[in-house]
Amino acid sequence: MSPALIAALPFLGALLPGLLIRSGRNVAATSCGTLTLLALIGLCLHIPGVLDGDTITAHYSWIPRLGLDISFRIDGLALLFAMLILGIGLLIIIYARYYLDREDPVGQFLTYLMLFQGAMVGIVLSDNILLLLIFWELTSLSSFLLIGYWKHLPDGRQGARMALTVTAMGGLAMIGGMLILGQIAGSYRISEILAARDLVQASPLYLPALLLILTGAFTKSAQFPFHFWLPHAMAAPTPVSAYLHSATMVKAGLFLMARLWPVLAGTTEWFHIVATTGLATMLIGAVIALFKDDLKALLAFSTVSHLGMITMLLGLGTKAGAIAAVFHIINHATFKASLFMIAGIIDHGTGTRSIRLLGGLRALMPATFLIGTLAALSMAGIPPLNGFLSKEMMLQEAAGTQWFGTDNLFFLIAGFASIFSVAYSLRFIWQVYMGPTRETYPETPHEAGPGLLFGPAVLVALVVLIGLMPMTMVGWLVRASADAVTGMPTDPHIQMWHGVNPALIASIVAVTVGALLVAIHAPLQRAWDAAPRPEAKVIFDWLVGHAVSIAQTLDTALHDGRLARGAAMMSVTAVAAGGLAWITGIAPPHSRPMLPISTVPFIGFVLLIVATGCVVAFHRNRILALVLIGIVGLIVSCAFVYISAPDLALTQISVEVVTVMLMLLALNFLPKRTWVETGAVRRGADALIAAMVGLGMAGLSYVILRSDFDLGTISDYLLANSYTQGGGTNVVNVILVDFRGYDTFGEITVLGIAALVIFAMTETLLTGSSARRLTNWRHDQRRAGDRHPLMLVVATRLILPISLTVGLFIFLRGHNEPGGGFIAGLIVAIALLMQYMASGFAWAQERQRVPFHALIGAGVLVAAATGVGAWLFGLPFLTSTYGYVKLPLIEKFELATAMAFDLGVFLCVLGAVMLALNSLSRIARRTGAPVNIEPMDVDPSRTVTEAQ
Q: pLDDT tens digits, residue range 479-520?
A: 999 999 998 888 888 888 877 888 889 999 999 999 999 999
pLDDT digits (tens, 9 = 90+) for 651-662: 888 888 888 888
Confidence class of residue 332 from pLDDT cuts 50, 70 and 90? Answer: very high
Asked if the model's pLDDT at residue 163 lies above 70, the reply is: yes
Rounded Cα distance between 657 and 666, Å, is 14
Question: Which pLDDT does position 779 carry in this prediction?
Answer: 59
Asked if the model's pLDDT at residue 933 lies above 50, the reply is: no
Asked if the model's pLDDT at residue 212 lies above 70, the reply is: yes
Average pLDDT over residues 199-220: 93
Return the SS3 of 850: coil
Return the SS3 of 848: coil
Question: Which pLDDT does position 757 carry in this prediction?
Answer: 87
Asked if the model's pLDDT at residue 850 lies above 90, the reply is: no
Confidence class of residue 939 from pLDDT cuts 50, 70 and 90? Answer: very low
Rounded Cα distance between 523 and 688, Å, is 74
Confidence class of residue 555 from pLDDT cuts 50, 70 and 90? Answer: confident
Please give the distance of CA 332 from its chain centroid, rounded to a whole number.
30
Highest mean pLDDT pick, 217-221, 557-561, 866-870: 217-221
Task: Report the residue count for the chain.
Answer: 948
Asked if the model's pLDDT at residue 932 lies above 70, the reply is: no
Please compute Rg for the chain using Cα positions.
Answer: 35
pLDDT digits (tens, 9 = 90+) for 667-698: 777 777 777 777 788 888 888 888 899 888 88
Asked if the model's pLDDT at residue 888 lies above 90, the reply is: no
Question: Which pLDDT does position 948 carry in this prediction?
Answer: 31
Average pLDDT over residues 604-621: 88
Question: Which pLDDT does position 103 carry in this prediction?
Answer: 81
Confidence class of residue 774 from pLDDT cuts 50, 70 and 90? Answer: low
Question: Which pLDDT does position 329 carry in this prediction?
Answer: 94
Question: Which pLDDT does position 174 carry in this prediction?
Answer: 93
Rounded to 5°, angle at Cα 889 from 887 and 894: 40
Q: Which residue has the higher pLDDT, 714 or 327?
A: 327
Asked if the model's pLDDT at residue 209 lies above 90, the reply is: yes
Question: Which pLDDT does position 152 carry in this prediction?
Answer: 81
- Cis bond upstream, residue 225 (ω within 30): yes
Share of the chain above pLDDT 90, in %: 37
Question: Which pLDDT does position 60 carry in this prediction?
Answer: 85
Q: Which helix (H) or strand (E) holds 456?
A: helix 450-468
Highest mean pLDDT pick, 8-17, 562-571, 703-712, 887-896: 8-17
The secondary structure of 628-683, three-state, reads HHHHHHHHHHHHHHHCCCHHHHHHHHHHHHHHHHHHHHHHCCCCCECCCCCCHHHH
DSSP-derived pairing of the beta strands 882-885 and 893-896 = antiparallel
CB count in 10 Å sphere of residue 406: 11
pLDDT digits (tens, 9 = 90+) for 363-389: 899 999 999 999 999 999 999 999 999
Asked if the model's pLDDT at residue 62 lies above 50, the reply is: yes
Confidence class of residue 732 from pLDDT cuts 50, 70 and 90? Answer: confident
pLDDT digits (tens, 9 = 90+) for 262-305: 999 989 999 999 999 999 999 999 999 999 998 999 999 999 99
Share of the chain above pLDDT 70, in %: 94
Q: Of the candidates 620, 435, 431, 634, which has an alpha carbon nearest to the alpha carbon of residue 525?
A: 431
Question: Which pLDDT does position 928 carry in this prediction?
Answer: 53
Evaluate whether 537 touches 433 at the Cβ level (below 8 Å).
no
Rounded Cα distance between 125 and 174, Å, is 18
Asked if the model's pLDDT at residue 167 lies above 60, the reply is: yes
Alpha carbon separation from 321 to 310, 334, 393, 418, 501 (Å, rounded)? 9, 20, 8, 17, 17
For the chain, the domains span 265-519, 589-675+710-927
Question: Which pLDDT does position 581 carry in this prediction?
Answer: 84
Alpha carbon separation from 18 to 13, 85, 119, 149, 673 (Å, rounded)? 10, 22, 19, 16, 53
Q: Which helix (H) or strand (E) holds 60?
A: strand 56-63
Q: Of the candidates 629, 645, 625, which has an alpha carbon nearest to the alpha carbon of residue 637?
A: 645
Q: Of the candidates 825, 826, 644, 654, which has an alpha carbon nearest to the alpha carbon of residue 731?
A: 644
Rounded Cα distance between 505 and 502, Å, is 5
Confidence class of residue 461 from pLDDT cuts 50, 70 and 90? Answer: very high
Asked if the model's pLDDT at residue 325 lies above 90, the reply is: yes
Question: Which pLDDT does position 545 carry in this prediction?
Answer: 87
Asked if the model's pLDDT at residue 411 lies above 50, the reply is: yes
Rounded Cα distance between 395 and 503, Å, is 5
User: pTM of this prediction?
Assistant: 0.72
Confidence class of residue 926 from pLDDT cuts 50, 70 and 90? Answer: low
Alpha carbon separation from 243 to 339, 456, 827, 859 (Å, rounded)? 11, 12, 58, 43
Average pLDDT in the chain: 86
